[in-house]
Amino acid sequence: MNFWAILMKDLRMELRTRESLAVMTVFALAVILLFSFAFDIGMNRFPSFVPGLMWLTYFFTAVLGLIRSFGWEKELDAWDILLTSPVDRSMIYLGKCAAFFIFLLLAQLISLPFFMLFLGLPLLAAPLSFIAILLTVDGAIAAVGVLIAGMSHRTPAGETLLPILLFPTLTPVLIAATKATTTALASKPFQEWDFWLMLIVTFLVLFVLAGAFIFDYIAEQ
């Protein structure tokens, strides 16, 4: 019940302001455009560095989205309405994770065709594999991102602190995502990239469980 209330609150807020999605999408598209000029990919076969560029782009896209998503909570001290309500705080965490997961996925759905078009990312080579990687990586980014943003957003240097803390924490996921995407899109068998997918899934499960458990402590000042 409270999970849905918090999820719907964030979705309604985005529908009303269109701030998160606009910032995330515009950033991703600008980076793709820049990269397309920087790397003369042309009609080359799948350049192996593109998945790395893609996940780095989506990391920074996620940072921008998280800053905006928690910016709503800072205005008029709105976060306190969640904290002072008789809501299990794990539901606050999970609700915000779910909302952010949706925002990130939407930003990717808009920008991924441009990765295909301008940077030669062969998404159609292994679409199901790519969807599995995309969903698990986005879940992990949301799980870690909301946990760290929930901790940092009330500190004076919260917006600076977020990427500083988030990048090292997410580095294993970004490496695994890059390796899994590169291998899967090269149409290699699942056995060659299942380790990386399992690593991402493990990270996702661990952080969702840890976040749901410790959010009660970190949500307060």
Partner 1 sequence: MDQLLIAQGIGKSFHLRPVLTDVTFSLAAGQITYLIGRNGCGKTTLLKILAGVMRPEAGIASLNGRAMFGLGGSWRREMVYLGHRPIMYQAFTARENIRLAVQLRGQTWDESQFRELARQYGLGGREDDRIGIYSEGMLKRLGLIRLEMSSWSLAYLDEPGSALDVDGSLILRETFDRWRSQGRSILFTSHDMGWGAAVADRAIMLSGGTVSEDLAAPEEAHLVDLLKEAAK
Binding footprint of partner 1 on the chain (CB under 8 A): 1-2, 5, 9, 12-13, 16-17, 72, 75-89, 216-217, 220-221
What's the min distance (Å) between Cβ of 23 and partner 1? 15
Closest to partner 1 by CB, 93 or 115: 93
> Whole-angstrom Cα distance, residue 105 to residue 32?
17
Closest to partner 1 by CB, 68 or 179: 68
Helix (H, G, I), strand (E, B) or coil at 187: coil
What's the min distance (Å) between Cβ of 80 and partner 1? 4
C-alpha distance from residue 52 to each of 121, 178, 183 (Å): 11, 5, 12
What's the min distance (Å) between Cβ of 96 and partner 1? 13
Closest to partner 1 by CB, 159 or 216: 216
Closest to partner 1 by CB, 82 or 176: 82
